[in-house]
A and B are shown apart, each in its own frame.
Chain A
Amino acid sequence: MNLTTLTAPPRPTYDDLPHLMSLMTGDEKHSAAATSTLDVLWVLYDRVLRVGPDSIDDPQRDRFYLSKGHGPMAYYATLAAKGFIPVDWLAGWGTFESPLGYHPDRVLVPGVEISSGSLGHGLPLAVGTAFGLRAQGLASRVVVLVGDAELDEGSNHEAVELAGAMSLGNLTVVVVDNASSTYNRRGIIPGRFAHEGWHAVTVDGRDHDALERALTRRPDGRPGVVVAEVESK
Chain B
Amino acid sequence: MARDPRQRFAQTAADLVEEDLSVALVYAEISGQFFGDVESRHPDRVVNVGIREQLLVNVGAGLALSGMRPIVHTFGSFLVERAFEQVKLGFGHQDVGGVLVGSGGSFDIASGGRTHQSPGDVALMGTLPGWTLHVPGHADEVEAALRQSVAGDGRAYLRVVSQQNARAFPVRPGHFHVVRRGAGPTVLAVGPMLDPVLEALAGLDVTVLYANVVRPFDSGTLRAVLGSPEVVLVEPYLAGTSSRFVSDALSDVPHRLLALGVRNEELRRYGSPSQHIAAHGLDAAGIRASVDRFLAGPVGGAA
Contacts and interface: CB of A to CB of B under 8 A. Distances in A.
B58 A107 contact: no
Contact of B67 (A130, A132, A159, A161): A132
B85 A158 contact: no
Nearest to B53: A158
A124 interface: yes
Given A114-B94, A154-B54, A162-B49, A131 B63 contact: yes
A125 B90 contact: yes
A22 interface: no
Nearest to B47: A131
Contacts of B89: 115, 118, 121
Interface in A142-185: 154-155, 158-159, 161-162, 166
Nearest to A154: B54
A134 B46 CA distance: 12
Contacts of A130: 62
Nearest to A166: B47
B62 A162 contact: no
A134 B68 CA distance: 11
A158 B52 contact: yes
A5 interface: no
Interface string B243-258: 0000000000000000
A155 B95 contact: no
A128 B65 contact: yes
In this complex, the interface size class of chain A, counting residues with CB under 8 Å from chain B, is: 20 to 34
B263 interface: no
Interface string B196-234: 000000000000000000000000000000000000000
B19 interface: no
A126 interface: yes
A127 B95 contact: no
B44 A121 contact: no
Contacts of A159: 55, 58
A131 B95 contact: no
Given A113-B65, A125-B65, 14 more contacts: A59-B67, A107-B95, A121-B90, A124-B59, A127-B58, A128-B58, A128-B61, A130-B62, A131-B59, A135-B45, A135-B68, A136-B68, A158-B50, A162-B55
A97 B65 CA distance: 26
B66 interface: yes
B62 A129 contact: yes
Contact of B66 (A128, A155, A161): A128
Contact of B58 (A106, A125, A161, A166): A125
B47 A132 contact: no
A133 interface: yes
B237 to A, nearest CB: 27
B277 interface: no
Interface string A98-129: 00000001110000011100101100111111
Contacts of A155: 54-55, 58, 86
28 contacts: A59-B67, A63-B65, A113-B65, A114-B65, A115-B94, A118-B89, A120-B54, A121-B89, A124-B62, A125-B59, A125-B65, A128-B62, A128-B63, A128-B64, A128-B65, A129-B62, A131-B24, A131-B47, A131-B63, A132-B62, A133-B66, A154-B54, A155-B54, A155-B55, A155-B58, A158-B55, A159-B55, A162-B52
B235 to A, nearest CB: 31
A138 B22 CA distance: 13
B41 interface: no
A11 B128 CA distance: 43
Contacts of A129: 62-63, 65-66
B16 to A, nearest CB: 14
B63 A132 contact: yes
A166 B95 CA distance: 27
B49 to A, nearest CB: 6
B76 interface: no
Contacts of A136: 66-68
Nearest to A155: B54
Nearest to A125: B62
A103 to B, nearest CB: 10
